[in-house]
Amino acid sequence: MSEDLSRYHRQMILPGIGEDGQQRLLGSTACVIGCGALGSVIADLLARAGVGHLVIVDRDFIEMTNLQRQTLFDERDVAEAVPKAEAARRRLGKINSDVRVTAIVDDLNRTNIERYASGADVIVDGLDNFEGRYLVNDFCVKHGIAYVYGGAVGTVGAAFAILPHTPGGDAPWETLPDGSRASPCLRCLFEEEPAPGTMPTCDTAGILASAAVTVASFEVAETLKVLTGNYAQVSPTLLNVDLWNSSMSELRVAGAYEHGDCPCCKHGRFEYLEGSRGTGAATLCGRDAVQLTHRQRATALDLPAIAERLRPHGEVRTNRFMLRASLTDNGKPYTLSLFPDGRAIVHGTDEAAVARGVYAKFIGA
């Protein structure tokens, strides 16, 4: 064993890794989208495992309430108002100098994902909203890149490693001698994103740190299998955990591709990547506000139900035309106006990334 690899000895003696697998890890690039509760654990473990290049994309800054679960950060980061991606880069450089970390402080969207994720061997999910996940899913199916999905809120979490069926059918897991290991993609499993306001978020429902750590650990294990070429060991099931109720289940989802009619991996329609689905953002001139427009909303939102969820977090007023909530994020006040068709106006910023962050934290999808 070379001196350079000695720090990875305990990992290299595992079946399926060895020196060849470790060299593959050192030559790999993993793109971690989101560096919060999930992403900070994912980035930490991947750096310690020796993944040679980590690209971390996150639009947010660190606040004191993050420290309960976001393991890469400390109180100094809060005091200095360091962006999460940059704070992660600094911390990971002290953990493993073998690893190159690229920190991208930006809002991931369809105009920049090709630039930021290009060259990645795998994309690992640290996101907090389904629109971002569908965008990543589109990108991964289009380019034949593995996508490790994960989500956690409250005391529950879910994760699934996606080896997508690709338009050309030539991804490495599709051309194995013993047959294809391709899996359903995210839109096979969840055809439509949840309606805004219907899913809990960490900011409205809380989160148990160990739930996030459990899901992130599963994501990292699947990522290491992918990067070392152990596609046969990638789990074919969707993991669901509830740590408060001490329950864990695995759902067999392989049939979702064969029996479904996925617009993405079956028909090659990349609606989120191309912009026909998802959110449009426009700065409202002279109003210090950003309008977020959700395309193709077929049903009206339940504004009274959303209002009940938001009342513990600020003053909320609602009528049949709109909901208006006064909220605080990262110590800054915002007014969120939400309309039945999903359209929203976030007052208090002229930056689309900030507006999307406020919306994702309090409304969700």
> Which pLDDT tens digits describe the chain residue by residue (365 residues)?
445 899 999 999 998 999 999 999 999 999 999 999 999 999 999 999 999 999 999 988 888 989 999 999 999 998 888 889 999 999 999 999 999 999 998 888 888 999 999 999 999 999 988 888 999 999 999 999 999 999 999 999 999 999 999 988 899 999 999 889 999 999 999 988 777 667 788 877 889 999 999 999 999 999 999 999 999 999 999 999 999 999 999 999 999 999 999 999 999 999 999 988 877 776 665 668 887 876 555 678 899 999 999 999 999 998 877 899 999 988 899 999 888 888 888 999 988 888 988 998 898 76
CB atoms within 10 A of CB 7: 14
In the chain, the largest separation of any two C-alpha atoms, in whole Å, equals 69
Give span(s): CATH 3.30.310, the chain: 279-362
Give domain 3-274's CATH architecture: 3-Layer(aba) Sandwich (3.40)
**Domain boundaries for CATH 3.40.50.720 within the chain:** 3-274
- Give the class (CATH, top level) of 279-362: alpha beta
Cβ atoms of 108 and 57 closer than 8 Å: yes
Considering only CA atoms, which of 33, 60, 83, 84 is closest in space to residue 354?
A: 60
pTM: 0.83
Please state the three-class secondary structure of the chain as a single string.
CCHHHHHHHHHHCCCCCHHHHHHHHHCCEEEEECCCHHHHHHHHHHHHHCCCEEEEEECCECCHHHHHCCCCCCHHHHHCCCEHHHHHHHHHHHHCCCCEEEEEECCCCCCCHHHHHCCCCEEEECCCCHHHHHHHHHHHHHHCCEEEEEEEEECEEEEEEECECCCCCCCHHHCCCCCCCCECCHHHHCCCCCCCCCCCCHHHHCECHHHHHHHHHHHHHHHHHHHCCCHHHCCCEEEEEECCCCEEEEEECCHHHHHCCCCCCCCCCCHHHHCCCCEEEEEECCCCEEEEEECCCCCCCCHHHHHHHHHHHCCEEECCCCEEEEEEECCEEEEEEECCCCCEEEECCCCHHHHHHHHHHHCCC
User: Annotated catalytic sites, by residue?
Assistant: 202
Please say whether the beta carbons of 249 and 235 come within 8 A.
no
